[in-house]
């Protein structure tokens, strides 16, 4: 006999948004030389305090500092949050201006790829974001003419699905039931059911948050 838990796990479907941005992630600050366009930021006493605060806040995307001495012990730092930064100008070490881009890495990949061109590491774009009250706040980072540019967007899930974050990827999950016999059909039929109505297909739970939600449905 198939239990309710197993049945739900079989019939969970998801829709993948055309954006990438949870648990099972490594979050790191990638430090390079540069200067942000400041459209509203918060000053913090030191670089170390900036790092701690930024890593703890979902909406923090970048920290910046102008070095005043060799150890940067006397220089304040600034925190830049979602929507308040549009570009970062590429500089070199002589500028004494540094920035730390917050990036998410899936646990299956190396934290710092062996490649030049941080923070993109050879990729044309980088995307991630965070969830707040059922809305995904995402951004896309690209490099154009020696400037890193930020593009922002928000997305939500259609009812009755629910939005979840899988590291850098936001997905909509929905539990679907067979309404006609056989009620405990095979995986092929379940996959077909989950592709109806623009669904992408079957999915198991990614983390504990999804597991708890699936069991509650």
What is the mean pLDDT of the segment spanning 10-31?
57
Cα–Cα distance list, 78 to 85, 138, 211 (Å): 12, 21, 38
The two structure tokens encoding residue 51 = 């790092």
Share of the chain above pLDDT 90, in %: 50
pLDDT in tens, 43-81: 999 999 999 999 999 999 999 999 987 666 678 999 999
Question: Where would I find the beta strands (DSSP E) of 133-199?
Answer: 135-144, 147-155, 162-166, 169-175
Residue 114: its pLDDT value, please? 56
Share of the chain above pLDDT 70, in %: 82
The two structure tokens encoding residue 142 = 């690209």
Q: Are 28 and 183 in contact (CB under 8 A)?
A: no
Residue 181 pLDDT more than 80?
A: no
Residue 17 pLDDT more than 60?
A: no
What is the mean pLDDT of the segment spanning 201-217?
83
List of domains in the chain = 4-18+157-216 (no CATH), 25-122 (3.50.4)
Handedness of CA 128, 59, 113, 33 (dihedral sign): positive
- Name the nearest CA neighbour of 161 among 172, 148, 149: 172
- Name the nearest CA neighbour of 139 among 27, 74, 58, 49: 58
Buried b vs exposed e over 79-111: b needs ≥16 C-beta within 10 Å? bbbbebbeebbebeeeebbbbbbbbbbeeeeee
Residue 108: its pLDDT value, please? 63
| pLDDT tier, 112 (very low <50, low <70, confident <90, very high otherwise) | low
- φ/ψ of 161, rounded to 5, equals -75, 165
| pLDDT tier, 10 (very low <50, low <70, confident <90, very high otherwise) | very low
Residue 47's CB is within 10 A of a number of other CB atoms, namely 22
**3-state class (DSSP) for residue 125:** strand
Give the whole-angstrom CA distance, residue 125 versus residue 151.
11
- pLDDT, mean over the chain: 82
């Amino acid at each position: 006999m198939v239990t309710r838990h197993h049945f739900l796990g079989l019939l969970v479907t998801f829709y993948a948004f055309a954006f990438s941005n949870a648990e099972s992630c490594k979050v790191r600050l990638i430090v390079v030389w540069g200067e942000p366009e400041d459209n509203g930021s918060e000053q913090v006493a030191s670089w170390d305090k900036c790092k701690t605060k930024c890593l703890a806040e979902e909406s923090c995307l970048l920290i910046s500092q102008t070095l005043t001495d060799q150890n940067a012990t006397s220089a304040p730092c600034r925190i830049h949050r979602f929507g308040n930064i549009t570009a970062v100008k590429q500089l070199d070490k002589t500028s004494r201006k540094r920035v730390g881009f917050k990036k998410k890495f899936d646990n299956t990949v190396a934290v710092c790829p062996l490649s030049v061109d941080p923070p993109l590491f050879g990729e044309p774009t980088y995307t991630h974001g965070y969830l707040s009250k059922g809305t995904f706040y995402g951004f896309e980072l690209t490099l154009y003419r020696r400037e890193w540019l930020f593009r922002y967007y928000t997305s939500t899930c259609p009812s009755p699905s629910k939005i979840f974050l899988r590291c850098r990827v936001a997905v909509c999950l929905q539990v679907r039931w067979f309404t006609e016999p056989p009620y405990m059909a095979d995986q092929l039929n379940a996959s077909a059911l989950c592709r109806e109505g623009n669904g992408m297909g079957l999915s198991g739970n990614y983390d504990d948050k999804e597991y708890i939600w699936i069991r509650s449905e």
